[in-house]
Structures are given as structure tokens and as C-alpha cells.
Structure 1
Amino acid sequence: MALEKSTRLMIIIAISFSFFVGEISVGFYTHSLALVADAFHYMNDLVGFIVALVATQISKRENSPKELSFGWQRAQLLGAFFNGVFLLALGVSIFLQSVERFISLQKVENPMLVLIMGCVGLTLNIISAAFLHEHDHGPKVSSTGTISDDSNMELSDTNHPHKDHRHINSTQTPPGRDLGLLGVMIHVISDAINNLGVILSSAIIWKLRSPSRYYADPSCALFIALMILLSSLPLVSSSGRILLESVPLGVSLDDIKHDLEKVSGVLSIHELHAWRLSQHKALASAHVLVGSESLSDFMRMAGEINECLHAYGIHSTTLQPELVGGSASASKRVRERVGAGAGRRGRGRGCRVNCGMECEELSCCG
């Protein structure tokens, strides 16, 4: 039986804390910058792991805090972002220390003890990586971009409402690996590479007799710093783009606008926005210019619009109707009646426009 994400994180926290205490002690005792750098990396890991654990626990809450609305679902993503920022700061710090050690070389005492700690650290990181490995990367997203198998079969029909829509041939980009655990996995993998560097540098200092052998230690620390910097940049970039509410991966706003304006009764679409709330959930909003004051006509249009957005992987939508040639009071009545339906949707019942039962997990108000 697979362990839960929170259980795996707690195991990793216990392993990392135990090794950090031992490694920092040996690092200061032997004057090994590489070992001290690796120990501080473990300390940073502890902070990152705890942030990931807290974010995971918060994201599992059924009821969102009133002050956060549905933004609480970004807790794990925010944890991943801070995890990456911590890594960047640590990489810069170790880089500067290694440059200083090149200028003022210091001897490493008892390199065999450093070698032993490197081997122990490598073993623990292999165990940690085994606990973190997962095959399930989150909700499955259709790779074809079609509405459903049944509707796709009907696309050859010239009267099909979506026959001219671009989402028929679109391909959604998978959300990828969970960024919360990805941040933790990057920590563990970079730690393992760091341990290999510590093992190599300590072996060189132990076996060689040249005075220049002590340069192996700051060289290893410099390598650790570069590895940390290179591994943290993709994490910061991926999580940062989602926090900045970027358009869902593989989705073009021009294609969405094209498809929505093909819906019968829709005259034009403006103020169209689509963004990612988290790795797996996307939202959209739009102003819909229509010519009919009938609520039933608009709800029919909204249903087709929702099907189009569903094909793009967007499952929560806010639509504002705007009437052509209609009075302001008529437009207000439509918005109020549609808004009342949205209010019922927020309570999980009475929703007039939805994707279906299979999409409840991807809906922000489900």
C-alpha cells in the first residue's frame, strides 16, 4: 500500500534532521567546506520539507478559510515557490564561500571521516528518493482536447454545434509532476549529487600527497553551489508562472475566443481571461454579447460555452451577459438571475452550467 504524501514527507524530515546534526558536527570538526555546505543544504531541506508538509496539510482541507476563498488551494504551490527561492539563496551563499576558500585555502582534517559522512548521506538520500517516488502525477487530462468520445464521433455531422471549433484538434499539455513534491525531490537528488562530490573530494585529499589536494574541497563546494542554482531555477520558474496566473499550458486565448464566438446566439466575446489557479485547476471569465433577453437562450449559450472551455481543460467559468439594443434594466435582470444560479453553485447544488460529475474535482466551487 502506497504511503500518503504527508507520511512520506514526515519520514524525509526525520531522516534529514538526523543526518544534518551529524554532518554539521563533522564538517566543523574537519574544517571541510564541502561537508559544511552540504550540511547547510540539509538545513535548507528541512525548512523546505516542513513548508511542503504544512502546505500539503492545508491543501487537503475541505473547507477553505474565509479570508482566502478558493485561493487556499495554492498553498502547496506557494510552498514549492518558497522552496525554490530558498535553494537559490543557498546556492549563492555557498558559491561565495567557495570563492573565498580558493583565495584563503584551509586544510581539511581527517578526510576519511568526511568520506564516511558522504557515503552515509548518499545512502540516506537514495532511501529518501525511494519514499518520494510516485507514479500518480495528479488528475488525468485528456490529451486529445475533445469534449467526449461520444461527441467526437458526431463531429462529422454538419449540424454539430462544435464542428467549426478549434478545440476539436487542440492538444492539452499535461500539468506535469506535482510541484510540491517536485521541490522536495529536487532537494533530495541535488543532495545525492552533492554527496558524490563530497566523497570524491575527500578521497582525493585522503589519498594524494600534493599540497594542492586541498583545493578539491572548495572545488566540490563550488560544484554544489552550481548544482543548487541550476536545479532551483526550473522550480521557481514553473511555480512562479502559475502564481502570476498564466494561461493554462497549451491553451491559446485566440482559439478560445474563436470557438466561443462560433456559439449560436453569441455576437462577440470580450474581456476574456483564462488562468491557472493551481497545477491542475484552471478558471476563465468573459463578457458575452448576446441579442436575446431570454434567460433560457443565454443558459443554452452558456452550456455550449462551457463545453468548449471544458475541452480546453477549464472547468470553472464566470460569464457576464451583455445585451445588444436591450435596456439596462433587462441586462441587469439577466445578470441577477444568472448570478443567483452561480450563488447556488457555490453551495454545491442547483448549478445550471457544469461539466458533469467526472469534473467535480477540477471545479473550484464543487
Structure 2
Amino acid sequence: MHHHAASRWLPLALTLTLGFGVVEALAGWWSGSLALLGDAGHMVTDATALGLAALAAHVARRPVSLRHSFGLPRVEALAALINALFMLALVVALLWQAVVRLAEPRSIEGATVTLVALGGLALNLAVAWLLTRGESDLNTRAALLHVMGDLLGSVAALAAGLVIQFTGWTPIDPLLTMLICGLILASTLTLLRSVIHTLLEGVPEGISLPEVGHAMAAVDGVRSVHDLHIWSLDSRRPALSAHLVLTDARRWPAILDAQRHLLAERFGIEHVTLQPELPAANPLVFVRNGSRPDTHHR
């Protein structure tokens, strides 16, 4: 399974989403449904997001160069950040329109809303299925978030259409729009937090820096570990660098092999840079007995 198994479906998802977004916008304008118009606007935004995600996935596969020694894997995180910001802007716009519609109710053609919402629901289920095939990354997660927002929007539009069709109660349209906005907002903020954490080179989720440090210090021949840093090149590839204080420098080749095996097998970290050295003062030192980091100078 290669890393871009999910992102390869982005161009098809883009085509399907953009095409139906145009149809939904026309139906929303004709029927007077805010839920349909909002979902259509969401789909157009999604089409932009999917296009950006597809472009980012393509760029991220470019090989390393003299100027970009790591390649361009973080383009996907940047695309996810832009997509999340687009989602926040869309939520604000839809909430505002919902408030206005509650204050000034309009007649809505319930039957049209119901039929178009059913088509949108089927399309979004298909696109979501495409984007969940294979391994995902922050970029694909951001695109999938947009699609899930569309999916919820289609459910809201369908419910609104049915209620209006059988009861004539039009406030259900903006009320359901506000509910869906709240759900989308919660998911967007979660994604935004993950993206920012990656871009700020935070320790990847699921990895404990103290646990890694003490495990490395417990390897035979290592006196202590300091200047330990763990970050992500992208959402899939953690990287590590550290300085190892050795008990015997002549054992370094064996210690290096043991460290690489430990980090790869136990923590899933394969991009590793280690520097052997003699004892030195450092404010964050992990020692072999697993005690708290030593903060005094040696």
C-alpha cells in the first residue's frame, strides 16, 4: 500500500463534486431553500478544496532537490491548513445567512429540496467512499472533512425538504443549517489543531518524548541521551535527532544498530539522526535508570 492510495481519487472526487454543486445551486435558487444554497456553496468550496488537495498530493511526491533536501511533503499540511480556513469562513457565512432567514422567512419548494438533497446525499456518500480507500494523510483528511460537511448538509437539506413538504414549517431550513454548521465547526477545529501541530514541528501524536528518551538511554553502552527532538516531516513520517553520551565510544557501531532497531520497531521512527559524544552538560538529559531528566550541569 503506497502513501497516496487515498489521494489518487481526488481528481474524480473533484469532478463529481463540482458538477453536482452547480446543479444544487440552481435548484436552491429556484426552490428558495437556504439549506440547498448553503450545501451548493459548500460543494463549490469543496471542489476548490479537492483541487487544492489533488495539487498538493502531486507536488508532495516530487523528489528531493538541492533546494528542498526533504522534498515537499509539508505542502499537504499547508493545503490542509488552507482548506480548514476555508471551512471556517464558510461556516461563518452560513450561520449569518441562517440568522437572516430566521428573521425574514421565505417560501420554500419542499419537493424540489427533497429530490435534490437525495441526489446530493448519494453523491457525497460515493465521494466519501473514494477518499477512505487506502491510507490517508492530513491533506486527504482535510478534503474528506469538506465532503463529510457536504454529506451532513445533504442530510439537513433532505430533512428540511421533507418537513417543509409535509408540514409547511419553513424555519426548519435555517435551524438545521445552524446545527450542521456547529458539527462542521467542531471537526474543522480538530483538524486545524493537528495541522498547526505538524507545521510547528510538535511531537507526533501517539509518541511520548520521555518514553522514547528513556528507552534510548536504556540501550547497553549508552550513558545518557540529550538534545532529543521528535517531529513530523508530514502526517505519516516521524523524524528524530538526538545526542548520545556513550560509556565506550568503540561500541558505537553496535549501539547505533540497536538504537535504529529500537526506534523503528517500538516507535515507528525510521528517519533517525544520532550523534555520539562524551559526557556534557545539558538541561534535558535522560538517564539509564528511567528517572526524571537530569537538569544539573555535569
Short-chain TM bin = 0.7 to 0.9
**Partner secondary structure for residue 301 of structure 1:** helix
Question: Unpaired segments of 5 or more residues in structure 2?
Answer: 281-298
- Identity level (%): 30
| Structure 1 residue 322 corresponds to structure 2 residue 277 | yes
Deviation at 1:4, TM superposition (A): 5.4
Cα gap change, 1:268 to 1:196, in 2 (>3 Å): closer
Specify the alignment match of 2:90 in structure 1.
90
Superposed, 1:143-158 pairs within 5 Å as: none
Superposed, 1:145-184 pairs within 5 Å as: 177-184=136-143
Specify the alignment match of 1:206 in structure 2.
165
Superposed, 1:347-358 pairs within 5 Å as: none
Question: TM-score, with normalisation over the residues of structure 2?
Answer: 0.82
**Contact 2:53-2:139 at 8 Å conserved across structures:** yes
- Structure showing greater Rg: 1
Cα deviations by residue, 1:94-152 (Å, 9 ceiling, x for unpaired): 112211221222332x3322222212211211222332332x43xxxxxxxxxxxxxxx
Superposed, 1:186-265 pairs within 5 Å as: 186-209=145-168, 213-265=169-221
Question: Unpaired segments of 5 or more residues in structure 1?
Answer: 138-176, 326-366
Cα gap change, 1:73 to 1:203, in 2 (>3 Å): same
**Contact 2:137-2:236 at 8 Å conserved across structures:** no
Specify the alignment match of 2:64 in structure 1.
64
**Contact 2:95-2:181 at 8 Å conserved across structures:** yes
Q: Distance in 1 between matches of 2:102 and 2:71?
A: 47
Which residue among 290, 297, 317 is the counterpart of 2:246? Answer: 290
- Tell me the amino acid that sits aligned with residue 55 of structure 2: V
Specify the alignment match of 1:169 in structure 2.
none
**Partner secondary structure for residue 272 of structure 2:** strand
- Tell me the amino acid that sits aligned with residue 315 of structure 1: E
| Structure 1 residue 15 corresponds to structure 2 residue 16 | yes
Deviation at 1:10, TM superposition (A): 1.4
| Structure 1 residue 28 corresponds to structure 2 residue 29 | yes
- Tell me the amino acid that sits aligned with residue 100 of structure 2: E
| Structure 1 residue 271 corresponds to structure 2 residue 237 | no
Q: Distance in 2 between matches of 1:269 and 1:129?
A: 45
Specify the alignment match of 1:122 in structure 2.
121
Question: TM-score, with normalisation over the residues of structure 1?
Answer: 0.68
Deviation at 1:54, TM superposition (A): 0.8
- Tell me the amino acid that sits aligned with residue 35 of structure 2: A
| Structure 1 residue 306 corresponds to structure 2 residue 241 | no
**Contact 1:263-1:304 at 8 Å conserved across structures:** yes
Deviation at 1:40, TM superposition (A): 0.9
Q: Aligned Cα RMSD in Å? A: 2.5
**Partner secondary structure for residue 73 of structure 1:** coil
Specify the alignment match of 1:358 in structure 2.
none
**Contact 2:239-2:272 at 8 Å conserved across structures:** yes
Q: Distance in 1 between matches of 2:113 and 2:154?
A: 10
Q: Distance in 2 between matches of 1:189 and 1:180?
A: 14
Q: Distance in 2 between matches of 1:250 and 1:27?
A: 44
Which residue among 226, 237, 258 is the counterpart of 1:281? Answer: 237
Count of aligned pairs between the two proteins: 276
Specify the alignment match of 2:43 in structure 1.
42
Specify the alignment match of 1:351 in structure 2.
none
Q: Distance in 1 between matches of 2:47 and 2:83?
A: 10
Cα gap change, 1:259 to 1:221, in 2 (>3 Å): closer
Cα deviations by residue, 1:154-204 (Å, 9 ceiling, x for unpaired): xxxxxxxxxxxxxxxxxxxxxxx5333222223223322211211221222
Deviation at 1:239, TM superposition (A): 2.7
Cα gap change, 1:105 to 1:254, in 2 (>3 Å): same
Q: Distance in 2 between matches of 1:241 and 1:71?
A: 20
